[in-house]
Copies of this chain bind each other. A is one copy, B any other.
Amino acid sequence: MTDESLKHDLARDFYSVWHPCTPRRDQETTPPLLIDRGEGVYLIDREGRRYMDVISSWWVNLFGHNHPRLNAALTRQLEKVAHVMFAGITHRPAIDLAEKLLSLAPPNLSRVYFSDNGSTSVEVALKMSLQYWRQTGRAEKNGFFHLTGGYHGETLGALSVCGLEMFRAPFEGVLMENRAVRGPDCYSCPFGLSPESCQAECFGPMERALEEEGGRTAGVIVEPLVQGAAGMKMYPPVYLKKLQEAAAHAEVHTIYDEVAVGFGRTGSLFVAGTHGLQPTFLCLSKGITSGYLPLGATLAGESIFEAFDGDFAARKFFIHSHSYAANPLATAVACETLALLTENDFLARLQPKIDAIGGYRPLFEQFKWCGEFRQTGMIAAVELVRDRTTREPFDRARRAGYAVYQEGLKRGLFMRPLGDVVYFLPPLVISPGEIKTMMETARTCIAEALGQ
Contacts and interface: CB of A to CB of B under 8 A. Distances in A.
A294 interface: yes
When all copies of this chain in the complex are counted, the total is 2
Interface in A16-75: 16-26, 30, 32-38, 43, 53, 55, 57-61, 65-66, 70-71, 74-75
Interface in A236-256: none
A115 B16 CA distance: 15
A interface, by DSSP: helix, strand, loop or mixed? mixed
Contacts of A98: 13, 16-17
Nearest to A153: B322
B61 A120 contact: no
Given A32-B89, A35-B89, A20 B120 contact: no
B43 A171 contact: no
A65 B82 contact: yes
B37 A81 contact: yes
A325 B20 contact: yes
A82 to B, nearest CB: 4
B323 A88 contact: no
A348 interface: no
A95 B397 contact: no
Contacts of A60: 83, 85, 323-324
Interface in A431-451: none
A285 B158 CA distance: 21
A203 interface: no
A72 B71 CA distance: 14
A361 interface: no
Contact of A82 (B83, B139, B291): B291
B111 A397 contact: no
A321 interface: yes
Nearest to A302: B15
Nearest to A409: B88
A199 interface: no
A396 interface: yes
A113 interface: yes
A61 B82 CA distance: 10
A24 B306 CA distance: 9
Given A99-B12, A300-B18, A329 B131 contact: no
Nearest to A309: B24
A194 interface: no
Given A43-B84, A323-B117, A123 B91 contact: no
A174 B142 CA distance: 7
A49 B89 CA distance: 13
A41 to B, nearest CB: 12
Contacts of A329: 292-293
Most buried by B among A75, A81, A139: A81
Interface in A253-293: 285-286, 291-293
22 contacts: A10-B90, A18-B112, A19-B87, A24-B308, A24-B309, A32-B89, A33-B90, A53-B84, A65-B84, A71-B78, A82-B292, A83-B291, A83-B293, A116-B116, A116-B294, A120-B155, A130-B171, A134-B170, A174-B176, A286-B323, A293-B324, A294-B330
Interface of A: 9-10, 12-13, 15-26, 30, 32-38, 43, 53, 55, 57-61, 65-66, 70-71, 74-75, 78-92, 94-95, 98-99, 102, 110-114, 116-120, 123, 126-127, 130-131, 134-135, 139, 142-143, 154-160, 166-167, 169-171, 173-176, 285-286, 291-294, 300, 305, 308-313, 315-327, 329-330, 396-397, 399, 402, 405, 414, 416
